[in-house]
Chain A
Amino acid sequence: MSEAMTLGTSLPRLEAAAKAAGAARYTADMELPGMLHGAVLGSPHAHARIASYDVSAARALPGVKAVVTGADIPQRRFGLTVADESALAIGKVRYIGDPVAAVAAVDTEIAARALELIKVAYEELPAMVTPEQAMADGAPLIHEGYAGYPKIFDCISSGNIMSLARISAGDAEAAWSQCDLIVEDVYETQAQYHAYMEPVAAIAEVDAVGRMTIWSTTQSVFRTQACVSEALGLPRGKVRAISPYVGGGFGGKSEPGVQLVAAVLARACGRPVKVVLRREDDIMTMRSRHPAKIRLKTGARRDGTILARTGDVIMDGGAYADDSPAAMTIVLHFLRGPYRIPNVAFDGRVVYTNKLRAGAFRAVGNAQATFACESQLDELAARLSIDPIDLRLKNAIQQGDRWLGGHAVGSASLAECLTKVRVASDWDTRRAADQKATTTGKRRALGVSSIVYTCAYLSTSAVVRLLEDGTVSVATGAVDIGQGSDTAIAQMCAAALQLPIASVTLVRPDTDATPYNSGTNASRVTYMLGQVIAQAADQVRTQIFRHAADLFECAEEDIELLPGGRVAIKGVSERALTFAEISRRAHFQVGGPIIGQGSYVFDAGKNDPKLAIAKGTISLEHIGTYVFGAQVVDVEVDEITGKVEVLEAWSAHDVGRAVNRQAVEGQIEGAFAQGLGYALMEELVWDDGQLINPSFMDYKIPGTLDMPPKFHPIIIENPEPTHPFGVKGIGEPPVIGVAPAIANAIEQASGVRIRRLPLTGERVLRALVTRDSRAP
């Protein structure tokens, strides 16, 4: 049918030309009449009490219109899982860069000079920069008031441990005795910076009746609205949040950036205030992927049947909780991997430290868990002398299986993903070949990994309006952060109403104009918005049919939709009515304007305690719809320097159904690049609480030339039964398995297993030197 006109086709992004031409406006591009420029003073100490402020010199500087400290703002806290943050530090600072004071001035130069004039007296406290230091006996508390902070979950905490959680199923301890082989080791992952192209920025304005409007780069206008409302003690309706174009997020803009600072400054001076962070300040004060240390133990029968797995996870949450307890829940939820393992027990601790907060980051928690799991699976395969893909296939989750706690697994295509990459990479032939060092000191081999993730999360809504000319306007609160969801939403709506894409217009996210959506995260937008677009479009279609039946004097059941915005009696297409004709009738004669709406909350059902026991976790009732993928990488290890290069890669993902094929391929390729950076080079490094590489000179992300010269995205389409368009998410899954696939290839090529990311030349070379010193 004509759904094919739009669904699955590689239509250009709606905003591609505007972005390519530099015409798309981002927050930093905006100017408002009378607007001032804000700047933020960060703490020079990792942990200290604030004794006093002296802002008189800063206030006296000509051109300065407001100076605000933690003493001047509402003494309120906000936070996604634990309300432990404030717009500016109140009472104490907890990491180097923690915002202490802010200035609004007529230009950025004066604002920067004013910051230098602010004097803050500190009483330094011992800084705890590792989870081990923070968990040590007698370690001073980073949040003395933790017990009293509001929390959204049944939190178990102790000292600086903000959250203790456990998920278990079966009886792992009893199962070890049935295992022929048990492997156990510790896997460590690092802090990764989101490196979105657009650093955080916000403009705040208070109108004549005290209502606050915030324009900002954000992954959720509703989350921005909620945080500003909570931090300032304003009712929700008194805060309006809008997002202009957003230059990337990757999870780093799920929670506030500088919106709160802009808001307190705008309130203090009564003029609009813009705050844009420089790259260095963005790196120092926003958030990172959680560093994790995972002790993992897996046991199997000689035939490769995995019987049991246990894991003990410590994650460094940094100075504020952000979404850390949720991230830990995700880690524990995915430590089993996409396999049938009947007996598991996973324990996690997230710890406060005096460093940058960790937070959501493309496949939060899962990337860390999967590095451990998929590395260990290859170690198990080697010890069992079973091909790594065969071992994965033997234990793969199948259609009809249940996830931990009973979640339904819809289309389960792991086996198909693995088979596709196996065939495409000529795996069986290549793996059989011996890895001889070449004359140039390089060895080359393939490595594999598989992944599982979810793409349905929380709730969303949409309003579809039929305009007088027969085109439609779609309002959703879903922010396109550069990943292409606007185009996907328009394509789904166009398909549902059989309209050309040009007849669909999207309303920019605005809490005043677009209905609720929880956020652009968890690979959820296409799946979740598809649900409500289908509902809303169906309501519009029903009303159109009612008008048509009236005009044709027939039953509604006899009306059919024709491509291009027309309806007719079935089989009589030559006498069609256009949407424009019907919409004009509705607007001006009968019934009133045609509007459809959709509302949806994902419900995976209650955890079944007979299947799994979860303690101290965030609720998993509203997250689910499982996605699967597999990748093979062809890796070359330079044994002279330790440098690792990926020469070719195959990344296969079941997306249910590709709404826009090129956009799906773009997600797979882009996620591979970010996964490559995580695997090989990206790492935020602290020295005694001071971040030492907050710039793109010192913190390297991969560029085009670091990508494999040959890259093969493989799209698998097994329509998801729970979805009206059959789609599943693809934003995060392709980032997850890159690092373990590369680590597995390195072991196959050079015989060294590296259990710590990133797999730098230095780490690899040291492992090679150790290997050679052991050689007979």
Chain B
Amino acid sequence: MSAAFHEPTTIAEAVAILATEPDVCCLAGGQSLVAALNTRSFAAPTLVSLQRIEELRGLRRGADGSVTVGAMTTHRDVARADCFQAGQEIVPQAAAHIAHPAVRTMGTIGGSICHADPAADYPGVLAACGATVTLVNARGQRELAASDFFVDFLTTAVEPDEMVTAITFPPMPEGTRGIYEKFCRSEGDFATVSVALILGMHDGRCAFARVALGGCGPTPVRAPEAETRLIGSRLDDDDISSASNLLCSRAAPQSDVRGSAEYRLMLVPRLLVRALDRARRRP
């Protein structure tokens, strides 16, 4: 068992503990951390449970159309939320793909992104949306872009005395659509490869494109040059194929039990085609 267990009821209390305790770790929904403790693959530090901090829960739509999600909001609540609009609907879509109902009822968005498993569903979606993560410590608050938040495999930019309090998804251009395309071995598995796409079309041409990959490297993969290649095009086979190549050249997948690196690279263009088809077909 852990050395000590704290259950603060406010963010201020929580960061005060993080500032003073030496070897300390936040416990959110416990869907990864508790499993790791149980397998003894992770030596138990002092745990700070965030379960009782009400101000960390819930979703809020801003006047500018952004949506801010409290770190302790469960996947189930995100999947059922109706405050996401044009393009942002990829967020509840992805939340609904996470594991099983039991995990979605306990697991939280903050816990998931802090675990930073690149095969998880949120990291790629945060990257595609250009979301920002709010971090707090006893001295203050800072905002990090998703691209700066995910540093490496299971590694984030969160400092030992910091905690994530919220994730903000900016508004997407009107008329855009978000599509989350996930390939996994069985229902509820982590993604072998996932594609997060936000697409806007105007007069038969691509007007807006954001693409990010999950399961294709230590952090979510984004390739601005691939998005540039799509924008302005009619999304013909050539356009998609060159954009896929640009994406793949940024991907660095590893081979594991979910699939070989080569298979993952085979899946990227195929899933991108499917995501683009779905985005254009949807009413």
Contacts and interface: CB of A to CB of B under 8 A. Distances in A.
* Size band of the interface chain A makes with B: 20 to 34
B40 A641 contact: no
Contacts of B183: 641, 643, 761
Contacts of B274: 440-441, 640
Contacts of B188: 703, 705
Interface string A675-687: 0000011000100
A641 B270 contact: yes
B185 A681 contact: yes
Nearest to B259: A762
Contacts of B81: none
Contacts of A693: 257
Interface stretch (A181-189, A321-329, A372-380, A694-702): A694-702
B186 A703 contact: yes
A695 B270 contact: no
Contacts of A278: 38-39
A706 B187 contact: yes
Contacts of A702: 186
Contacts of A685: 257
A635 to B, nearest CB: 16
A641 B271 contact: yes
A765 B186 contact: no
A437 interface: no
Nearest to B186: A700
B151 interface: no
B153 interface: no
A766 B266 CA distance: 9
Contacts of A641: 183, 267, 270-271
Interface residues of B, number: 26
B271 A640 contact: yes
A692 interface: yes
B263 A765 contact: yes
B185 A761 contact: yes
A409 interface: no
B206 to A, nearest CB: 20
Nearest to B35: A697
A390 interface: no
- Most-contacted residue by chain B among A278, A703, A761 (CB, 10 A): A761
Interface string B51-81: 0000000000000000000000000000000
Contacts of B185: 681, 700, 760-761
Contacts of B189: 700
B100 to A, nearest CB: 7
Interface string B169-192: 000000000000001011111101
B273 interface: yes
A132 interface: no
Contacts of B190: 697
B257 A695 contact: no
Name A's interface SS: loop
Contacts of B40: 112
A401 interface: no
Given A641-B183, A700-B185, A765-B263, A692 B100 contact: no
- Most-contacted residue by chain A among B39, B257, B273 (CB, 10 A): B257
Contact of A703 (B187, B263, B270): B187
A703 B40 CA distance: 26
Given A441-B274, A641-B267, A761-B259, A706 B186 contact: yes
A207 interface: no
A762 B186 contact: no
Nearest to B281: A439
A112 B40 CA distance: 10
Contacts of A769: 266
Interface string B242-283: 000000000000001111100100110011011000000000
B100 A703 contact: yes
A695 B35 CA distance: 11
A762 B260 CA distance: 8
A512 interface: no
A702 B187 CA distance: 8
B231 to A, nearest CB: 24
A762 to B, nearest CB: 4
Contacts of A766: 263
A15 interface: no
A769 B270 CA distance: 12
Contacts of A699: 257
Contacts of B270: 640-641
Contacts of A681: 185-186
B272 to A, nearest CB: 10
Contacts of B263: 761-762, 765-766
Nearest to A695: B39
27 contacts: A109-B1, A278-B38, A440-B274, A441-B274, A640-B270, A640-B271, A640-B274, A641-B270, A643-B183, A681-B185, A681-B186, A692-B257, A693-B257, A697-B190, A698-B256, A698-B257, A699-B257, A701-B186, A705-B187, A706-B186, A706-B187, A760-B185, A761-B183, A761-B185, A762-B259, A765-B263, A766-B263
Given A698-B256, A760-B185, 13 more contacts: A278-B38, A280-B39, A681-B186, A685-B257, A695-B39, A700-B186, A700-B189, A703-B100, A703-B188, A705-B187, A705-B188, A761-B263, A762-B259
Interface of A: 109, 112, 278, 280, 440-441, 640-641, 643, 680-681, 685, 692-693, 695, 697-703, 705-706, 760-762, 765-766, 769
The 5 A-B pairs at the shortest CB distance, nearest first, are namely: A705-B187, A762-B263, A700-B186, A693-B257, A640-B270
